[in-house]
Amino acid sequence: MILRKPDFYDSFKCIASRCSDTCCVGWEIDIDEASQEAYRKVAGAFGDKLRENIEDGHFKLLPHDRCPFLDKANLCEIYAHLGEGALCGICREHPRFVEVYGDIMEKGLGLCCEEAARLLLAGKGPLAFTSEECDEPEDELDDDDREIRDQVLYEREQILETLADTSMPFEERLHQAFGYTGEQPLAPLKNVGALVELLEKLESYGPAWDEALARIKAKVNAAQSAEQDAADATTLEDQGFFSETESARLLAYLVYRHYAKCLMEGREQGKLMFALFFWNLARFFTRELAGNATDAQTVKINAVKMLSKQLEYSEEIMELVETSLDD
């Protein structure tokens, strides 16, 4: 099998207590059966605590959806007591993701993680990928499915090569990859009103998103009050945080992660336009998404992280957004 990874994948390492966020708050943490069986055998007081805090295949979250094994320094007590190998599968692998398309496996890092977002944005040139042989079992594909798979991956590769081609002006790359000209700044949506309407349909992942959405709506309302045609986003401007290199890397990464899933889920155009949708949100509303961050790098990372948490980790939300963009 061929394993493909983005250029920053192997540089990733959890920064633990140095992270301003934590992936152990705000999520239901499912425990795989093998880990549950291992936890049943842990002796002593810590073993008792493990078993007392497991219910229906997941950890019982504390107030504010905090994992019961997250200590005051935001470090994992399971890791501290039993080692990395004792972590349940989702805790051991997060924020990594894996997709398998026949004899091709693709890995990446979810941008809900600030270190993953930092590594993506810190790249000095176009996003690149590595390929190597691996011994993982492949999914069986018949000849027809393999042909369709190859066509979709070829189409995606053309988009990625376009975004990486620095011999072309960035605006031309956007046009060739997405048909984006800037005449409708929030394309594929018609205007800022359509953007807010779509965002309001999405179930919130938590208070941080609620606050960010309120800031976005306040900015939009102010723009609409300032100018008659603000519904067409004429008074909204790119806030200037993302360089062309960062923008191209972000767009390419979103295409890499989502486009080929059309093989199983359909919505090919919606998956392509999702990258544009995400990028436009990030650049027009960077400060509104970033919360209290002040330095430019943290502002960018927080904006990307916020959008990833809200959009990419719910199948229902992704389907709703992609369907809305799948014209």
Tokens at 81, concatenated: 């007591």
- Report the percentage of the chain scoring pLDDT > 90: 72
Cβ-proximal residues to 68 (8 Å cutoff; 6+ apart), any chain: 49, 53, 59, 60, 61, 62
Residues 286 and 283: their CA atoms lie apart, in Å, by 5
CA distances from 321 to 70, 76, 224, 294 (A): 33, 34, 24, 30
Q: Look at residue 225 and tell me whether its pLDDT is greater than 90.
A: no
pLDDT digits (tens, 9 = 90+) for 301-311: 999 999 999 99
Q: Is pLDDT larger for residue 38 or for residue 64?
A: 38
Q: Read off the amino acid at residue 220.
A: V
Q: Look at residue 23 and tell me whether its pLDDT is greater than 60.
A: yes
Q: Is pLDDT larger for residue 231 or for residue 121?
A: 121
pLDDT digits (tens, 9 = 90+) for 139-160: 899 999 999 999 999 999 999 9
CB 54 within 8 A of CB 68: no
Residues 134 and 93: their CA atoms lie apart, in Å, by 18
Q: What local confidence, expressed as pLDDT, does residue 233 receive?
A: 53
Residues 59 and 69: their CA atoms lie apart, in Å, by 9
pLDDT digits (tens, 9 = 90+) for 116-128: 999 999 999 999 9
Please list the residues that pair with 109 across neighbouring strands: 96
Residues 79 and 70: their CA atoms lie apart, in Å, by 10
Residue 263 dihedral angles phi and psi, to the nearest 5°? -60, -35
∠ CA(147), CA(148), CA(150), 5° rounding? 65
pTM (two decimals): 0.90
Average pLDDT, the chain: 92
Q: Give the 3-state secondary structure of residue 237.
A: coil
H or E element at residue 38: helix 33-40
